[in-house]
Amino acid sequence: MTGGDIAGLIAAGVFAILVALLAVPLLKLGKVLDQTTASIKEATDGITPILDETTETIRQANHQLTRVDTITSNVAEVSGNVSALVALFAASVGGPLIKLAGFSAAVRAGIVGLRGAKKAEKVVKGKARAK
């Protein structure tokens, strides 16, 4: 063997060691990729039931919102009817009640005025008798 052959054998040995040292990280990288693939498969299998449950929950929420919308429209209609009834009651009963209150206040003032006049007359008569 010549010097070039020995140098070639040494270079081939170094290259074999280099390949062996690089094979270890490549094997670890392969295991990481296998784990990643398994994790993605598990996540996909787990997401499907969650999406089904979410879809059902949203469907039920939409159904309940439809019911609430119906109830809200009925309440708005009843509220409008009550408002109209109150306005009608105020217009038909409110005016006469105000007039009756004014009349009763006038009668009361008149009665108080008569009583005050009678008392004043008694006082004047009492003073006249005293003289």
Average pLDDT over residues 11-16: 93
Asked if the structure places residue 39 within a domain, the reply is yes
Q: What is the pLDDT of residues 82-128, one digit of tens each?
A: 999 888 887 787 777 788 888 888 888 888 877 776 666 666 566 55
Report the alpha-carbon distance of residue 31 to residue 38 in Å, rounded: 11
Q: What is the pLDDT of residue 28?
A: 94
User: For the chain, what's the residue count?
Assistant: 131
Q: How many CB atoms lie within 10 A of CB 40?
A: 10
Work out how many domains the chain is built from and give that number: 1
Phi, psi of 90 (to 5 degrees): -65, -40
Q: What's CA 81's distance to the chain center, in Å?
A: 28
Asked if the structure places residue 82 within a domain, the reply is yes
What is the end-to-end Cα distance of the chain in Å, rounded? Answer: 172
Q: What is the pLDDT of residue 91?
A: 78
Asked if the structure places residue 40 within a domain, the reply is yes
Task: Give me 76's structure tokens.
Answer: 């708005």
Instruction: Tell me the residue range of the domain where 16 lies.
Output: 1-93
Q: What is the pLDDT of residue 98?
A: 81
Asked if the structure places residue 6 within a domain, the reply is yes
Task: Supply the pTM of this predicted model.
Answer: 0.42
Report the alpha-carbon distance of residue 131 to residue 128 in Å, rounded: 5
Least confident of 61-65, 75-79, 91-95, 109-113: 91-95
Asked if the structure places residue 46 within a domain, the reply is yes
**DSSP H helical ranges for the chain:** 3-89, 95-130
Q: What is the pLDDT of residue 30?
A: 93
Asked if the structure places residue 117 within a domain, the reply is no
Give me the chain's average pLDDT, please. Answer: 86
